[in-house]
Structures are given as structure tokens and as C-alpha cells.
Amino acid sequence: MKTLGERIRELREQKDISLRELAKQLKLSPAFLSDIELGRRYPSDEVLGKIAKELGTSGESLKQYDTRPPIEELKRMSAANPLLGVALRRVAEKKVSASDLIDFLNKEGKKK
């Protein structure tokens, strides 16, 4: 299944709109839109709605491609495994960036 970013890029390319052009129409930075397409960042519901409108689709249809677990699932996982909650709090306290955490997890996954 495609990711949210891949679907946005696909729709943008189908409309033959450059990333910079779409970013300008949305009043977003091209870097932010690029990060969304690459899966490094996720748009708010408001921004997702604007993207959907510019690409001729609905926010709900784009949300189908967002594979992140809902926040309620993360809370449930933390309650079921208190150590996970501690780990998430430490990540927040240390102000670890999402990209650094993903890089770390990717490196750890390659070791196994």
C-alpha cells in the first residue's frame, strides 16, 4: 500500500504540478511539502484538507493512506507496557527529532 506522502506525490504528478508550485499555492514551504511526500512529516488535518482540495480529492480519501497508529493505540500500548511509556517520555525530554529516532531504529534493524 502506498504511504500518504506517496499518494500526495502521485496526485500532484497526475495534475502535472511541481512541488514548488503546489507549495506556493498552499502557502507552505517546499521543504515542508517535500518532507510530507517523503514521509518525514505529517500534515495537520487542516493542511491535509488544503492539499486534498488543491489535488481534487478529499481529506478523508488521503487519510486512508496514513498508516500511523491512532494516538489512542499509542496510549493503550504505553499503558500495557509501562517501559514503552518511559521510553517515549525520554525521547520527548531529550528532544530527539523524529528523523534522528527513525535513523536510529533503521540502523538497529539492520544489525539484526
Tens-digit pLDDT profile for residues 10-26: 999 999 999 999 999 99
58 and 76, same domain (yes or no): no
pLDDT of residue 31: 96
The pLDDT score that the predictor gives to residue 30 is 97
Domain boundary among 45, 63, 81: 63
pLDDT, residue 112, reads 62
**Predicted model pTM:** 0.66
**Same-domain pairing of 46 and 10:** yes
Query: Is residue 47 within 8 Å of residue 22, measured between CB atoms?
Result: no
Residues 56 and 78 in one domain: no
- Non-local (6+) Cβ contacts of 51 within 8 A are 8, 22, 26, 36, 43, 62
The per-residue pLDDT for 1 is: 82
Tell me: do 20 and 52 sit in the same domain.
yes
Ranges of the chain with pLDDT below 70: 112
Q: Could you give the number of structural domains in the chain?
A: 2
Distances (CA, A) of 70 to 7, 9, 38, 80, 106: 19, 23, 20, 16, 22
Q: What CATH code is carried by the domain that includes residue 26?
A: 1.10.260.40
- Look up the domain containing 47 and give its range: 4-63
